Amino acid sequence: KRIAILISGGGSNMVALVNSMIGDHPARAVLVASNDPGASGLVKAAGRGIATAAVDHRLYGRDRAAFEADLLQHIEAASPDILCLAGFMRVLTPGFVQKFEGRMLNIHPSLLPKYPGLHTHQRALDAGDAEAGCSVHEVTAVLDDGPLLGQARVPVLPGDTADSLAARVLVQEHRLYPEVLRRYAAGDRTPVCL
Ligand code: GRF
């Protein structure tokens, strides 16, 4: 299976995914693309010999469709079977999502359906949750919704800040996403619980 990965920043989840696709793994990364030409994850991908592309969303103003059309050209040139959003911070239109329905994954730093959207760790702290975590789901037109493919849980500890909790969750993201992708690429949609 050919995997394209979309990032917006450091790409630590992309690196975890790429590092997992070795040996007899059923998938290979064929493209890493970003909405930010300055995303440091692009340098990490290039350093691993993976083709990269960047389409600067700031050049398109409010024309989301034009941005996505250009991004799509790069993606389709790589002929991916599966699209993985990994720290990708742009909302995709239903038109884009439809093109990859049933073959696009996203990782979100909360125990969905709790806390879709942003600032998930602060919201968990404010709510006094005893647990937090991350979720991998299939992408549908509704933001941070879609069938759950896996979750990993971490304890919220006394004195936690959003940053300390985010760091604890990120470690689990790097375990969860590769495990979900391995199964998903082999056609197994059984949810992973870590
Ligand atoms: C992190 O906050 C992670 O929780 C979320 O996206 C952000 C950046 O991830 N998935 P990455 O290091 O770019 O993969």
Q: Is 109 in the pocket of ligand 1 (CB under 6 A)?
A: yes
Protein residue with least CA distance to atom 13, ligand 1: 11
| pLDDT for the residue numbered 143 | 86
Protein residue with least CA distance to atom 1, ligand 1: 87
Active site residue 108: yes
Q: Is 133 in the pocket of ligand 1 (CB under 6 A)?
A: no
Residue showing tokens 């493209």: 31
Residue 35 annotated as binding?
no
* CB-CB contact of 189 with 183 (8 Å): yes
| pLDDT for the residue numbered 144 | 86
| pLDDT for the residue numbered 182 | 97
Which residue from 28, 192, 145, 12 is spatially nearest to 86, judged by alpha carbons? 12
Please give the Cα distance from 101 to 141 (Å, whole number): 9
Q: For residue 136, list its beta bridge partners.
A: 107, 150
Q: Phi and psi for 51 in degrees, rounded to 5? A: -60, 140
The predicted-structure confidence for 3-40, as pLDDT tens digits, reads as follows 999 999 999 999 999 999 999 999 999 999 999 999 99
pTM of the entire predicted model: 0.97
Which residue from 151, 145, 140 is spatially nearest to 180, judged by alpha carbons? 151
Residues in the chain: 194
Strands 52-54 and 131-138: unpaired
Q: Which two tokens stand for residue 148?
A: 């759950």
Q: Which residues of the chain have pLDDT under 50?
A: none
| pLDDT for the residue numbered 122 | 98
